[in-house]
Amino acid sequence: MEIVRKKLKIDRMIVDCEGEGRKRRGGLVLCWKQEIDIRVTTFSQNHIDVRVIETDGTEWHFTGIYGFPEEENKVKTGALMEALARGNYVPWVCGGGGGDFNLMLMTHEKKGGDHFKIHEAEILRRAVDACHFFDMGFVGYKFTWKNNRGEEANVQECLDHFFANEAWKEKFLGSYVSHLPKRKSDHVPLILYVKGCVGRTEQRKKTKQFRFEAMWLREDESENVVMKAWNKGEDAKQNLTRTTNQLSVWSRKTFGNTTKEIRNCQQQMKELMEHEPTVDVVERMRAIDARIEELERREEVYWHQRSRQDWLASGDKNTFFLSSEGKPTRTKE
């Protein structure tokens, strides 16, 4: 998680998951920038609840939810939401990356597979009503989960949502939710664009400096580029300048713009998601997934190189890290 934090240029985060070391799994993550005043109130394996304090002293409420996946425990998701609603009188939004409720609201949110379970939908409907929420809707592909199978075996559902009460919608008029193209996960990522969001600051563009990238070592050709450029002269300073220039040119040709290529692949994935899930379409989606995975490996090496060594040695082994004022209350399940 430290690599992700570094890549996103996030200052603080809260992480909660099961297990220790390499055996850890699941859990939720909330990250935020230092200039944003976040007060963590409660968290568990299924939620993170915070207050966001504005510069003028006003506040609003954010909750990330991961719904209980087991059929016999789905009622606990509704009970959790209703418990969080008690005593809440401020603008409130609920969902996000932790917005996998594992529940649907309407029959049109399911395609294929078993019949729509009305008794499960009622759990979410009652909770939404108790919280005085409105569904924020979305732009993009209508389903947020699919089983990645083709043709008649394909099942798609809308299990992820963003909800907000009227006060939050009025405070951030024009905010909207977007469903992004899927990746290796069976869920698509969701992003909430908040109009008038706190903590936005102007950033100066930094002069780009040369850095030797560890990902270059994944290619045998990198050694030849260095040797050829360095052996062209005897002046060490000129050799160094020539070598850095040649490496930069070679890197652009070999690796291109990784971020741009990932975006292109995501656009292709987005277009394929609109097609009928034939065997051919599913195979093409898997091929794009594999390509993005290689590109993300390169990025991982890139950001791994930039991560602080003390975090790589020990910090990311912690199952929980909280960098904020005071300790939040942990709810009992």
The widest CA-to-CA distance across the chain, in whole angstroms, is 79
- Domain edges within the chain: 9-203+316-330, 214-310
Residues 158 and 162: their CA atoms lie apart, in Å, by 11
User: How many residues are there in the chain?
Assistant: 333
- pLDDT of amino acid 203: 47
On whether the CB atoms of residues 121 and 73 are closer than 8 A, the answer is no
Q: What is the DSSP letter of 152?
A: G
Residue 176: closest CA among 161, 159, 158, 195 = 195
pLDDT at residue 307, rounded to an integer: 54
Residue 201: the pLDDT is: 46
Decide: 10 and 3 in contact? Cβ < 8 Å. no
In the CATH scheme, what is the homologous superfamily, with its name and number, of domain 9-203+316-330?
Answer: Endonuclease/exonuclease/phosphatase (3.60.10.10)
Instruction: Please give the pLDDT value at position 302.
Output: 65
pLDDT given for residue 18 in this prediction? 67
Listed residue (162, 70, 72, 159) closest to 111, CA to CA = 159
Q: What is the pLDDT along the chain (333 residues), one digit of tens a residue?
A: 666 677 677 767 676 666 665 556 666 888 888 888 999 999 888 899 999 998 888 899 999 998 998 999 999 999 999 999 988 889 999 985 555 899 999 999 999 988 999 999 999 999 999 999 999 888 888 888 888 888 888 899 988 999 999 999 999 988 888 888 877 778 888 888 888 765 544 444 455 667 777 777 767 788 888 888 888 777 777 778 778 888 888 877 776 677 788 888 888 888 888 888 888 888 888 898 888 888 877 777 666 655 544 444 444 444 444 444 444 555 544
In the prediction, which pLDDT does 75 show? 95
Cβ contacts of residue 61 below 8 Å, gap of 6+? 49, 50, 51, 52, 88, 90, 91, 92, 93, 168
Rounded to two decimals, what is the model's pTM? 0.62
